Amino acid sequence: MKRLLLFIVSLTSLRAQQETATFSSHTQLVVESIAVTGKKGAPVEGLTAKDFTITENGVAQEIRFFDHEKLANEKRAALPKEHIHLYDKLGRVKISAEIQTSSKYKDKRLLALYFDMTAMPPSDQVRAMTAAEKFIRTQMTTADEMAILRYSGGSVDVLQDFTDDQNRLLSILQTMVVGEGQGMDESTDDASSSDAGAAFGQDDSEFNIFNTDRQLAALQTAANMLGQLSEKKSLIYFASGLRLNGLDNQAQLHATTNAAVRAGVSFWPIDARGLLASAPLGDATQGSQGNVGMYSGTAGQAVRANFLQSQDTLYALASDTGGKALLDTNDLTKGMIEAQQAVSSYYIIGYYTSNTAQDGKFRRIKISVNPELAAKLDYRQGYFASKLFSKFTAADKERQLEDALMLPDPVTELTIAMEIDYFQLNSAEYFVPLVVKIPGRELALAKRGGAEHTLIDFMGEIKDDYGSTMTNVRDKVDVKLSDATAQDLSRRPVEYDAGFTLLPGKYTLKFLARDAETGRIGTYQTSFRVPNLNRELARVPISSVVLSSQRLDLRDALYNAAKGKDKSESTNPLVEDGRKLIPSVTRVFKKSREMFVYLQAYGPEASASQPFVAFVSLYSGQKKMLETQPVQVQGVLKGKLKVAPIEFSVGLTGLQLGEYECQVTVLDVTGKKAAFWRAPIAVAE
């Protein structure tokens, strides 16, 4: 566990310029948990801080914090099934940070149950939850405090903070949904792969925008959450194996184990598949391989190799963090009991390191006691120092974004405004343009630091109502920061746009932007709905209504960060004759400029003889302040869909400054139907 304390001292010189010099010093508290055992393996108790000597990279350190944790092994009475009180709903909480003077977890054993739902089929999920329930009922001791965490492909959810309430823990387990997170199964492409026949499609790995393995990154996030506590933590990891693919995953594996060691967390992986006796060519749950490997033995060898590789990763996670993997056994509670019994009595030592450099390098720790005790010490042999963002590697930066995307709490260091619209493409699909705006003054700070440009990283995910990832975006843009541009940016926003094709339904979007010069991150998260306009019978089906005050040439991208990118502009209805309509995300319009209004109406009745009629009205309270002349719009045949583009240019010079309600009315006179859209706007000087 690390705590960073920042001391700033300001000195004013006696020179005429009255310059101020600022000095900063970073002091890092390093916490070590040490298990001391004698010749016969029994814990050695009664030691004091004077009995320990600690060095970091050969330099002696002064012990500033010392505590002895002695854990009782007295079992609780078994809890019958009928004594469970079920809570109303499954909650999401946080791992409570420890107050430095608090003894909340004094003499407590901290066990965290972590369910990786993306790495277990439903049958294994049931087996893991049953084992956890059995342990809580029959094996918990008076010293045990347990937490429950879950990863289902989106974020790492803390379902229960550390508690000794058996009823609460059992209730959480029984309200977990079996079958979650099954959209991220690993994919292989070797002789063990089944023959899909004519069902060819893009491999799942093609849709993964990240160059790190998400399951390991989620495990790293969980370790960082637990790192807020100074005591020893055991994370019991339920998964049906974890198979690495490629060198990027190896880098993430090292990052995950380093984070666990740094946080004082030991991994205790449990293979939820239990003891398997698989057929050489697979069982009835998968299709036949359909290749020559069936006859040469290559397919059988590949099946076995894949299985062993998935267990190798679990073994590596355990051995590198001080835990132990439970493999090839049907009694999954054994792994939990081993994790419980491994922590009985230990000492906590804290010191402020004399090396204040934030270089991210490994620092080796050596701890010794009086040689006369002939004791054996078990502790972490070192840690990686914290690192400044300017010294991050490419993998570090990617993991930072991945962590921010997974955390339930959004990072809001950058201000982000966003607008999501939808336009019907055909009878089934909808084009969903996404526009992001960031205040340029926040990016112009990079110029003040001497940089001539700043990179902006964008990352986003769209999930459906069931939590499955439908599409994603990962982009990097370069904003040049000359003196003139930086001055201009301080008064204007930087815009980024992207477009997706979606089916009707409910979706959730989480979008991140990061200033790659300073490392600051902004998060935008929202839910939106794409309606099925084919079912709109009572009203005129219309698209989103876009309000704007800008039309830019596609070649003029001073404030369009997506310049030069292939954004499929041909399908974007906001682009016409080489000019793009830029949505006003904040819907604040200058009185001296026109307000553009654009939308589309759909319907087979929109013919030359039966046009739509539309107009725009502005209201202040109940009073109508402005209304445009009605216009007739004819439908244009696009495939089997008739699209009627409706566009207005509204002058605002005659209006007073203030807030208004903008209403767009679309009438189908022949069909005797109408559509109304209304939203607040503001008119400013």
Q: Is the same domain home to 132 and 242?
A: yes
The reply to whether 187 falls in a domain is no
* Type of residue numbered 177: V
Number of domains in the chain: 2
Structure tokens at 405: 């995307």
Domain that holds residue 125: 81-96+105-181+208-337
Using only C-alpha atoms, the chain has a radius of gyration, in whole angstroms, of: 30
Q: Is the same domain home to 57 and 133?
A: no
Q: Is the same domain home to 365 and 383?
A: yes
pLDDT of residue 27: 61
For 463-518, what is each residue's pLDDT tens digit?
998 888 888 888 888 777 677 666 766 677 788 888 899 999 999 999 998 988 77
CA gap 351, 53 in Å, rounded = 11
Residues of the chain with pLDDT under 70: 1-27, 81-92, 98-103, 154, 180-213, 244-251, 277-295, 297, 299-300, 302, 408-409, 444-452, 481, 484-486, 488-490, 554-570, 604-609, 639
CA gap 95, 147 in Å, rounded = 8
For 596-641, what is each residue's pLDDT tens digit?
999 999 975 544 457 889 999 999 988 999 999 999 988 777 767 8
Q: Is the same domain home to 143 and 269?
A: yes
For 540-596, what is each residue's pLDDT tens digit?
999 999 999 888 776 654 344 444 444 455 678 888 877 888 888 888 898 888 999
Q: Is the same domain home to 43 and 149?
A: no
Structure tokens at 471: 């599409």
For 346-362, what is each residue's pLDDT tens digit?
888 989 898 888 777 78
Residue 26 near residue 358, CB atoms below 8 Å: yes
What is the pTM for the complete model shown?
0.59
Q: Is the same domain home to 333 and 353?
A: no
pLDDT of residue 5: 31
The reply to whether 240 falls in a domain is yes
Residue 240 near residue 120, CB atoms below 8 Å: yes
Q: Is the same domain home to 20 and 166?
A: no
pLDDT of residue 617: 95
Q: Is the same domain home to 116 and 222?
A: yes
Q: Is the same domain home to 235 and 259?
A: yes
Q: Is the same domain home to 254 and 331?
A: yes
CA gap 407, 129 in Å, rounded = 24
Q: Collect all residues with Cβ–Cβ distance below 8 Å to 187 and sequence separation of at least 6.
A: 203, 204, 205
Q: Collect all residues with Cβ–Cβ distance below 8 Å to 101 and sequence separation of at least 6.
A: none
Q: Please provide the distance, in angstroms rounded to a whole number, between the alpha carbons at the two ends of the chain.
A: 52
Which phi and psi angles does 174 have, rounded to 5°?
-75, -15
Selection from 273, 265, 278 nearest residue 327 by Cα: 273
Q: Which of 313, 337, 361 is the last residue of a domain?
A: 337
Q: Is the same domain home to 67 and 160?
A: no
Query: What's 128's domain CATH number?
Result: 3.40.50.410
